[in-house]
Structure 1
Amino acid sequence: MMITKAQVLEAQENWGNGVVKIGSLKENLVECEAYTNSFLDERYNFGQSTVLFKPTKCELEQFRPTKAEALSYFIAGENRTCEEDKGFAIQPWTKVRFENTGFILEEDRAIAMGNYFFTDLEGNEAKVEYTFGYKLVDNQLKIDVHHSSFPYTNPDIVA
């Protein structure tokens, strides 16, 4: 049986809600770290197979193949694995919404690509381009490919 678009949309909604919740917990570091660990276990396929994770705001350590490196990216903290991390998910964000440009749906794998938008406390949206690959593990979609980047800005085009 094929993975459905509805399953991917649900996985995206769960991911976005999780990012928002991480930010809401930033004042309680113990709870925030515990929740983020759980979030990474539930949403990503760390520990079961390779995860190709290339988050947006990374310059020196662009690729994060381990759960510890992903945790560092999401919440940073004194024990962060990557020194450049500031804690992307503890911004905090109030909303995450996906605008998908397309899907590839297979029996145990799905890929989605498009833009996602992160709303901050003032209501400003940050637009980010993304590609997520999902693997079906125990009837749950787990991310094993995560690539995101800011949109290209052509310096020759005057707005």
Structure 2
Amino acid sequence: MKINLISCAVVLLFSSNVMAAKPITEEEVLAAQAQWAEAIVTIGKAYVAKEDYKAVAKNIVDTLYGYDQGDVLFKPTKAADQQFRLTKEEALSYFVTGSIAEDHGFALQPWTKVRFDTKNIVIDSDSALAMGNYYFTDAKTGNEAKVEFTFGYKRDEKDNLIINLHHSSMPYHPISH
């Protein structure tokens, strides 16, 4: 009987913790997108100012991505030979160069602005997916590059949204015959 009571108490405690998790909201997803956009601009500013941009990028990846919480699926826009970045080090390499030869430091462009045009957000209480286009304004030319995105989010142990899925690709342009 004592073991059954302890088992029930453990199950109830676990269940109450699971149910206590705050559902993700659309506003939180939009705020996470704005935070990511500002982060990309911040890395480029640190690079131009000859600051420790790699430390800035590491802090951003540590804060915004869930590599310390489990698997992250990251497929960057400008990745061909090594298309997928499944580790924190590979993500950093994409943003600021490093361990992967093809990487030129996407965030080092630099960009003056990143804006999201989110087409839809799907929320499933403890996770969220967002899809749409985002636009990167080149600091040198002022030109805007359109890129397609899908982001996935979950909560970390501090209740912050973190990225566990990031797919990015250039829009398809059919070849005319």
Provide Cα deviations, 1:13-45, integer angstroms capped at 9, x if missing partner: 000000000000114666211110100011000
Q: Percent identity?
A: 49
Match of 1:7 in 2: 28
Equivalence map 1:4-153=2 (5 Å): 4-27=25-48, 31-76=52-97, 80-121=98-139, 122-137=141-156, 138-153=158-173
Q: Report which structure shows greater RCO (CA 8 Å, sep ≥6).
A: 1
Moved over 2 A (4+): 27-30
Describe the SS at the equivalent of 1:40: helix
Distance 1:123 1:150 in 2: 18
Tell me the TM-score normalized by structure 1. Answer: 0.93
> Which residue pairs with 2:10 in the alignment?
none
SS at 1:130 equivalent: strand
Aligned length: 154
Structure 1 position 156, deviation (Å) = 2.3
Query: Per-residue CA shift, 1:102-158, capped at 9, x if unaligned?
Result: 01112210000000000012221000000000011121110000000000001128x
Instruction: Tell which structure's C-alpha radius of gyration is larger.
Output: 2
TM-score w.r.t. length of structure 2: 0.84
C-alpha distance in 2 between matches for 1:75 and 1:150: 20
Return the offset for 1:4.
0.9
SS in structure 1 at match of 2:34 = helix
Tell me which protein shows more helix as a share of its residues.
2
Which segment is superposed worse, 23-32 or 87-96? 23-32
